[in-house]
Each structure stands twice: as structure tokens, then as C-alpha cells.
Amino acid sequence: MAPRFPLRRLALLTTAGLALGTAAVPMPAGAEPAPENRQATYQAAADEFGVPVDILLGVSYLESRWDVNTGEPSTSGGFGPMHLTDVDYVAALPVPAQDEAPEDGRGDDSRPMPVGHPTEAPAPSSESLRTLAAAADLTGLDEAALRTDATANIRGGAALLASYQQQLQAPAGAASDPAAWYGAVARYSGADNEAAAAAFADEVYTTIAEGAARTTDDGAALTLGARSVVADHGWLSRLHLPRLERPDGIECPIDVSCEWLPAPYAKYGPGSGDYGNHDLGNRPQSQRIEYIVIHDTEASWATTLKLVNDPTYLAWHYSLRSVDGHIAQHVKAKDVGWHAGNWYVNAKSIGLEHEGFAAQGSWYTESLYRTSAKLVRHLALRLGIPLDRQHIIGHDNVPGTTSSTVAGMHWDPGPYWDWSHYFDLMKAPFRGLPDVLAGHAGLVTLNPDYATNQPAFTGCTGAASNPCPLRPSSAVILRTAPDLTAPLVRDPGRCGTKASTMVVSDHCARASAGQTFAVAERSGDWTAIWYLGQKAWFRNADAGPRWNIGFVVELKPGLASTPVYGRAYPEAAAYPAGVPVQAVSPFSQYTFAAGQRYAAGPVLTSEYYRAATFDWSAPGDGTVIRGTDKYVQIQFGQRIAYVKLADVVIRPSVL
């Protein structure tokens, strides 16, 4: 999303209120069992409350992948492996860190920056966001324990499932047929419509059918054995959830919950430039869509929908709800959203906003990841977008437009977004060559172990010096030398002359999972990559390197350096009469010098989509202007960048 505001961590859900069953007798007080006994914890809770253990494990996996997340709340206010929600408690917590300043999400000076002033929506009252209190009533357990103690949390989730099954008057008991638990599983999602509840339940039963095994973020090894279960979908109707209209032409996969909530294309002032909150287009016929940009909202679901419905603000193509992965589409793929802060990228991208906060992003629900991955794969296959990190990018990978905007570009979805798992779900995992070929590959794709990679970030809430909880992360920390005591590398565009820090929003010395860089040097267990005109070192044990062969960009012989750009705009001669020429302005802070090499992305024709007035009354409006200049996209730092093809050569990466 573009501007950041101090918003509460809330989600808007409206489901039927919880009708609580008889409270269970609390388990005797005792110490939290060792993580290696977590499997037994699920079995004991399933037996105690009469829930098939496969159902309990499957639901927990769809909520949290069985992680405990250090007792921190999810982006939709849920706690623990069973994602018990406590919206009132979360609303009282300190707000997460926000970006330093608003960003012009349109990223084009041909018209004024949108002037909206969003405010947080009122806190929701839905009981679906207070399931932790319901679990406390059912079990007699203390609410604090349900938030932080894995055993208590699992028992609370089992009690909720049992109560839902009882209210449906469905067959119960630990030995009952899991097929008959479809309605209870669907209700556990907290979804406010039938399609979203069904999508959640279907994913649970798919997980049961396929099985799962992983080690959690606190070291517990868990297994759900594969079991074929034909779910009885008839129980869903007993929840009496509303059915959302799904109009023809909505651009979502058929097996997800998706609704059409159009963003307004409307005038709001006297001038032809006073309109919002996106531009009409005719993509991909007029212009190829190269990118899908992943954002987080930095706002609740309610506020997100309020903002995208404001013609004086910004618009993106899709919003995704954290608690159940429900999707709202706002802008058709043919049209251009204002979301990435760079008009060249906006004109060639689709923007996805995920309900959440970059500083708290370790706790995006599995439901959100799965729905988002299905949507991205659907769009990529339809539009011919490669499923790699050169085309599926974060907002934090979008370059500034000119030297003056580099420092203000945003950092969402941030270091806690699980890129590796996300691409696994898209069936496009990060791959590499055997380590024996590391010295010859020339490229390295970063793939740190998400669960164990827990950098010591600060400033997630409050002062910049406040330590963040140690959370799993996709970020790889980069240093000036192969030594853990060496200073961090510095991004002169983002941080100026200041030293880089471990503040969560300071990505001046970071790379991210899935990004591929050109290898500059190797020393023992350390590797240097070319990064913003310098060698940047990472320890292999922290970065999970995947060695690869591909193509790199080098300067043509005889050139000492070449400019680096944030947009691939045409040369001045390409513009028709009456259309203002867009400056081909290189970054002043960076140098691509002889001897350096960068991972090559697509070769791009220079383009500028002219859209400056509501009614296309200005010369050239509604057209794509193309030049003869071509550019090559490179992985220059944390963000992508562009260099002119005429200044470089593209070579195989083999060393």
C-alpha cells in the first residue's frame, strides 16, 4: 500500500455469534511440554474434546502451519497454533512500526498526488474475532495462557471445534468420521460468507488428503499422515452464511472466495487531473503486464475497503483478507492501479494488497498465503508472467522513479513475508545446482531457512532501539566483509550517508529469499554478491544459497560506468507533438562500474503510458508511447533497476 498510518491491528468479519457449549474441566496446571511432545498434545486435546485428530491438525495447519509465533498476534488478531482471536486485546497493543512518510502511489508527475486523508474504521464487533474468550469459557483456561501457551491454545481450539460440531448436531467423538466435520471446520474459519468458509474447509481436507510434516518455529516436529476423506459438504448449509454474488468476468480462480468491489474511476474536483483512483487501460493488448506486486495494507480490512472506495485516494487490483484469505477485486487487469509508487511499474503490473503489517508479518495466516498463491498463479498463467522473483516482486523491490524518490519508497511486505513458502505454494520452488558446482555457477539464489533465520531486528513497535521478538524471516543481512563483526553495507540512495541499521524498516543492507544475484567473490563459508555498486557479503549458513547458471549483465568493453534507472522510459524523439517528454533520469546515488556484473532480467522496450486526464482530453492520453531504446532489468540491490541495452552485454553467468 502507499501511505502508512498508525492503524489498529483489526480485521472486519461478520459471522453468526458463538453459541457456547458446556465448559470442559481444565487440565491440571503444569509446565509447558517440550516441543518434541507437541504431537501428543494434539492427540490428547483431540481425545479430551472428542475431535478426530486429523481434523484438529488439519485446521491448525491452515491457520498457522502449527507455529506458535512467540505468542504474538496474527495480522487478524489470532494467537497460537489454533489462531484463537482476541480483537480487544490486540486493539490495546502498541501500533506496529509504519513507513516514514507517505508515498505517491501513482509515481508520475503528470498529475497531482492524490489528496485523500484516510482514517481508521471503527473496531468490529463480530464474535468471530473473539474466539479466544469463547475458548476460555469452554475450557476454564486463563486467556493469557490461551494466548501464549501452546498446549492451552491447542486445547482451546479443540474445544471450539467440538462446540461447533455440537451446535450443528453432527456426529462427534474422536473416533467419528472426519467427513462429517466439514461444517465445523468451515465455521472455524471465521468467514463471513459461504464461499470463504467452504474454501477454508476444502483446503483443510486437501491438507488431510495430502498429509503434512514440518518442524515448527519452536522446534516441534509434527506429522499429519495422508488420509483420503470425502468431505460431506451438506453440513455447510447449516451455517446459514450469506452467498456473495460472483459476477461474470471476475478475474479470480474458481476455487477461491472472491467478490467484485469496484474502485471508483471518478472526478472529484474542477480540474481534469482531479480524478481517481486508477487509470483506464487496455492491457495486455496495449501493453504487456510484466509484474505482480505484493503489498501489505498497513490497515485493517475495514479501512482497506474504505480507502479503495475513495476516489481521492489510490486503488490496487485485489485486496486479500488475513483471517480466511477472502479476495476482493477492485480494478480489472486491463486497467492501471495506483499502488507501487513508480508509474512505469504501475503501468506494467497488477497490485495485490494483503491485510497485514510489515513489522508484524511473521503471522500471515496459511489461508492468506494459499489464496494469494492461487491468485498469483492464475494471473501469471493467464497473462504469461514468469513465476520468479524478477516478475513476482514486493513493493520493497520496486525502484524509485528518480534520485529524489529513492529514499521514500516503501518496504512492505517486509522481512517477515515467507517468500520461499509462497513460491512453493505456487508450484515454483526456488531451485539450484549441487554445491559442488558453486565455484562455477556465477549466480546465487537466496533461500534462507525461514523458521531458523531470525535476524535481531529492532523498532517493530515504539522506539527504533526496541528489540523485535525473534521471528522467522526471509531477509538476508549483508556486510562489507566476510565477518559477522563487519559493518553492514550501505544503500546511499535509501540511507544517504547514514550507517545501515537493524531497524525493521531499514532495508539498506538486505536481500530477500528468491532473489538472484551475480556472485562477486567467495571466501570460505562466505559469498559476496554485486549489490548497488559494491561487494556485499553474506554467510552461507544464514542465506541458504542455491547456486545457479543463467545470464549476467556487464558493461561493454571500453566503458568505465553506465547510468542506472528506475524506469525504462523512451527517448525524447519518441514522443508525439504535444505530449510532454518524460525525463530519462538516472539515479545520482549509484554507479554500475566496469568489472561489476548483475543478474539479468527481461529485456524491455522503452515505454510510457500516457494517462493524465480523466476524459483523455490531453494530447496522447490513453496511448502507449514506445521508443527505440531498449533496457535490461537487473537485480541491482534489494530493488530491481534498469540499464540501457546499448551500454551493456549479456553473457552466460558461468565463471
Residue in this structure with the C-alpha cell 509465533, named with its chain if needed: 69
pLDDT at 119: 47
- Sheet with 443-445: list strands edge to edge: 534-539, 526-531, 516-523, 443-445, 546-548
Higher pLDDT, 633 or 116: 633
Rounded Cα gap, residues 88 and 63, in angstroms: 20
Average pLDDT, the chain: 90
pLDDT digits (tens, 9 = 90+) for 286-317: 999 999 999 999 888 889 999 999 999 999 99
What average pLDDT does range 462-479 have in this prediction? 93
Coil, strand, or helix at residue 337?
A: strand
pLDDT digits (tens, 9 = 90+) for 165-220: 999 999 999 999 999 999 999 999 999 999 999 999 999 999 999 999 999 989 99
What average pLDDT does range 484-494 have in this prediction? 96
- Per-residue confidence band for 273, with pLDDT thresholds at 50, 70 and 90: confident
Tell whether the model's pLDDT for residue 88 goes beyond 80: yes
Query: What are the backbone dihedrals phi and psi of residue 444, each rounded to the nearest 5 degrees, phi first?
Result: -135, 130
Least confident segment among 75-79, 361-365, 476-480:
361-365
Rounded Cα gap, residues 229 and 311, in angstroms: 48
Distance, C-alpha 302 to centroid of its chain: 19
Least confident segment among 12-26, 169-183, 491-505, 606-620:
12-26
- Per-residue confidence band for 462, with pLDDT thresholds at 50, 70 and 90: confident
Widest distance between CA atoms in the chain = 81
Tell whether the model's pLDDT for residue 17 goes beyond 50: no
Closest CA to 315 of 283, 281, 350, 289: 350
Domain boundaries, the chain: 35-239, 554-652
- Per-residue confidence band for 11, with pLDDT thresholds at 50, 70 and 90: very low
pLDDT at 122: 45
Higher pLDDT, 323 or 28: 323
CATH number of this structure's domain 35-239: 1.10.530
Amino acid (1-letter code) at residue 380: A
pLDDT digits (tens, 9 = 90+) for 217-254: 899 999 999 999 999 999 999 999 999 988 899 999 99
Tell whether the model's pLDDT for residue 444 goes beyond 90: yes
Amino acid (1-letter code) at residue 255: D
pLDDT digits (tens, 9 = 90+) for 387-413: 999 999 999 999 999 999 999 999 999
Query: What are the backbone dihedrals phi and psi of residue 351, each rounded to the nearest 5 degrees, phi first?
Result: -105, 130
Rounded Cα gap, residues 66 and 454, in angstroms: 18
Q: How many residues does the chain have?
A: 655
Q: Are 168 and 238 in contact (CB under 8 A)?
A: yes
Contacts of residue 254, Cβ cutoff 8 Å, sequence gap at least 6: none
Closest CA to 519 of 654, 614, 641: 654
| Bond prior to 563 in cis (omega within 30° of 0) | no
- Per-residue confidence band for 111, with pLDDT thresholds at 50, 70 and 90: low
Share of the chain above pLDDT 70, in %: 90
Q: Are 404 and 568 in contact (CB under 8 A)?
A: no
User: Sign of dihedral through CA atoms 375, 378, 384, 387?
Assistant: positive
Q: Are 431 and 546 in contact (CB under 8 A)?
A: yes
pLDDT digits (tens, 9 = 90+) for 513-567: 999 999 999 999 999 999 999 999 999 999 999 999 999 999 999 999 999 999 9
pLDDT at 431: 95
Q: What is the DSSP letter of 488?
A: B
Least confident segment among 98-107, 447-456, 480-489:
98-107
- Sheet with 291-296: list strands edge to edge: 258-260, 327-329, 318-320, 349-354, 291-296, 392-394
Q: Which three cell numbers stand for residue 614?
A: 480523466
pLDDT at 357: 87
pLDDT digits (tens, 9 = 90+) for 375-386: 999 999 999 999
CB-side neighbour CA atoms (13 Å) of 151: 18
Q: Are 49 and 155 in contact (CB under 8 A)?
A: yes
Q: Which three cell numbers stand for residue 202?
A: 476444502
DSSP for 128-184, written as a single string: GG-HHHHHHHHH---HHHHHH-HHHHHHHHHHHHHHHHHHTT---STTS-GGGGHHH
Tell whether the model's pLDDT for residue 23 goes beyond 80: no
Count of helices and strands (H, E) across the chain: 15, 28
Rounded Cα gap, residues 280 and 613, in angstroms: 11
Tell whether the model's pLDDT for residue 354 goes beyond 80: yes
DSSP for 589-638, written as a single string: S--EETT--EEEEEEEEEEEEE--STT--STTTTEEEEEEEEEEEEE-SS
- Per-residue confidence band for 361, with pLDDT thresholds at 50, 70 and 90: low
Q: Are 366 and 62 in contact (CB under 8 A)?
A: yes
What average pLDDT does range 460-473 have in this prediction? 90
| Bond prior to 413 in cis (omega within 30° of 0) | yes
pLDDT at 81: 97
Beta carbons within 10 angstroms of residue 501's beta carbon? 17
Rounded Cα gap, residues 307 and 627, in angstroms: 36
Amino acid (1-letter code) at residue 601: G
pLDDT at 14: 28
Strand blocks (E) in 216-282: 221-224, 258-260, 266-267, 275-276, 278-279
pLDDT at 27: 40
Q: What is the DSSP letter of 92?
A: T
- Per-residue confidence band for 487, with pLDDT thresholds at 50, 70 and 90: very high
pLDDT digits (tens, 9 = 90+) for 146-166: 999 999 999 999 999 999 999
Alpha helices in 450-518 (DSSP H): 492-495
